[in-house]
């Protein structure tokens, strides 16, 4: 039992460290932009007390809230989720090691977003898991995106088209295509998303 408790504490410490790192990136960029905590929170539609907790690594953002914070700071979600790499020589590579938990909520309240790349590169792979409801939010961004269903089912709305994806199915959409996700009632899914990254800030 001690090993189990120790393991849980170690996993919690890893998540806490990731949350602190994300909060530190948000705080650093906010200060770089010359914004107060209250200004940034107001722009993002969040309370300043909640954003303060996020910056200290004490609260977890949903992807929607992360999107709003990124917009308020003039950047992207993926820039906030990944670190500036050290100077990278040609031919370099990155190895992802499985980590427990996630510092970002997929938006379902019980789902996670696991980022499979710690440093910024041309593509950002992520795994989303959980159940997704139609919250009325349309997503649209300059990056192209690939979505592959690992488990379960996912309904993707692309403009006026609605596509029902099952495990093994995938879709790819170009920049500027408005889209929404949802899962059928009572269904969860695990989805691999590979998003193109643009780092001009």
Same domain, 120 and 191: yes
Q: Is residue 13 part of a domain?
A: yes
> What is the per-residue pLDDT for 107?
64
**Lowest mean pLDDT: which of 108-112, 138-142, 161-165?**
108-112
Same domain, 110 and 169: yes
Q: Which value, in Å, is the radius of gyration of the alpha carbons in the chain?
A: 17
Range of the domain at 46: 2-75
Q: Is residue 129 part of a domain?
A: yes
41 and 51 Cβ atoms separated by less than 8 Å: yes
Average per-residue pLDDT for the chain: 82
Which CATH number do you get for residue 30?
1.10.260.40
Q: What letter would DSSP give residue 57? A: T
Same domain, 69 and 108: no
Q: Is residue 122 part of a domain?
A: yes
The top-scoring range by mean pLDDT among 98-102, 126-130, 146-150, 193-197 is: 146-150
User: SS3 for 152?
Assistant: strand
Residue 42 — very low, low, confident or very high, per pLDDT cuts 50/70/90? very high
Per-residue pLDDT averaged across 71-87, rounded?
79
Q: Is residue 94 part of a domain?
A: no
Same domain, 190 and 111: yes
Same domain, 140 and 188: yes
Per-residue pLDDT averaged across 155-181, rounded?
93
Q: How many domains does the chain have?
A: 2
**Lowest mean pLDDT: which of 23-27, 73-77, 121-125?**
121-125
């Amino acid at each position: 039992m001690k090993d189990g408790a120790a393991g849980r504490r170690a996993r919690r410490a890893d998540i806490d460290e990731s949350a602190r790192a994300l909060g530190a990136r948000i705080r650093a960029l906010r200060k770089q932009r010359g914004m107060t905590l209250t200004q940034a929170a107001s722009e993002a539609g969040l309370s300043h007390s909640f954003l303060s907790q996020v910056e200290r690594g004490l609260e977890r953002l949903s992807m929607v809230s992360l999107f709003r914070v990124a917009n308020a700071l003039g950047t992207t979600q993926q820039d906030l989720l990944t670190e500036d790499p050290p100077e990278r020589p040609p031919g370099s590579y990155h190895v992802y090691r499985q980590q427990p938990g996630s510092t970002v909520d997929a938006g379902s309240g019980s789902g996670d977003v696991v980022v499979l790349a710690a440093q910024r590169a041309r593509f950002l792979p992520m795994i989303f898991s959980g159940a997704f409801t139609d919250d009325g939010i349309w997503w649209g961004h300059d990056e192209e995106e690939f979505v592959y269903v690992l488990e379960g089912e996912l309904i993707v709305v692309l403009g006026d088209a609605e596509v029902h994806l099952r495990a093994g199915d995938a879709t790819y959409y170009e920049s500027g295509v408005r889209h929404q996700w949802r899962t059928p009632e009572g269904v969860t899914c695990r989805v691999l998303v590979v998003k193109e990254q643009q780092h001009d800030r």
